Amino acid sequence: MEVVIVPDATAGGELIAEAIGALLSRRPDALLGVATGSTPLPVYQALAAKVRSGAVDASRARICQLDEYVGLPAGHPESYRSVVLREVIDPLGLSEASFMGPDGTAEDVQAACEAYDKALAEAGGVDLQLLGIGTDGHIGFNEPCSSLASRTRIKTLTEQTRVDNARFFDDDIEQVPRHVITQGIGTILESRHPILLATGEGKADAVAQTVEGPIASIVPASALQLHPHATVVVDEAAASKLKLADYFRATYAAKPRWQGL
């Protein structure tokens, strides 16, 4: 696991956007896994700016969802499909045909989960998966004590996650769905390059446990320690409880530029 400490969220977004641009130059039709929430917005903004300037050609990129609420009506502004279309697909100038995600409106949710897991494999797998992290260490919607071998499935959200997400629903927790479809931890670990971005002091404990703690289902993100090419990008605030922060800074400063992220 590589840990990169950046000054702030903007710098983190720029760094990851550069990595995505480098990937698209090597593999123009790369399948990019995207996360939602406020944390990844600097990544999408920086990448869209590079596309507009001509520095990055994303015209053949494919986009896939990490997770989706269950039960929100099609077109609901806070469904993750709507969010990804608004924050990623449209700014990058892509068509909806380039986008794939699980069906949170399906009558048979389990079948929808299995179909999405199969679709990801048939698409050749995810080349780069962007991840956020919850204050309790969850990735995707794999809440604490999720199986580290789990596949795409339905999950029940913890009360803390619903509280954290209420800000997207007029601060009304009753509007936040209780169930979601999420890529499992096992599914996420099949991506070729998972990149976790964490910003703000509120994520410091979760980051420290993910990076320096034991691999344990109580901190689902700690499973990234098992991946041969996982990257954790954190700002100074989110890195504030890392015991090895100075070492991480030194190793990244000494890294040859040709290696990339």
* Catalytic residue ranges: 67, 136, 138, 143
How many alpha carbons fall within 13 Å on the CB side of residue 211?
31
Q: Would you say 194 and 230 are in contact if contact means Cβ atoms under 8 Å apart?
A: yes
Q: Which residues pair with 2 in a beta bridge?
A: 231
CA distance 27 to 5: 27
Nearest partner of 63 among 52, 78, 48, 74, judged by Cα: 48
Neighbours of 14 (CB within 10 A): 18
CA distance 2 to 110: 35
CA distance 115 to 32: 18
Sheet holding 2-6, edge to edge: 2-6, 231-235, 194-198, 128-131, 31-34, 62-65, 99-100
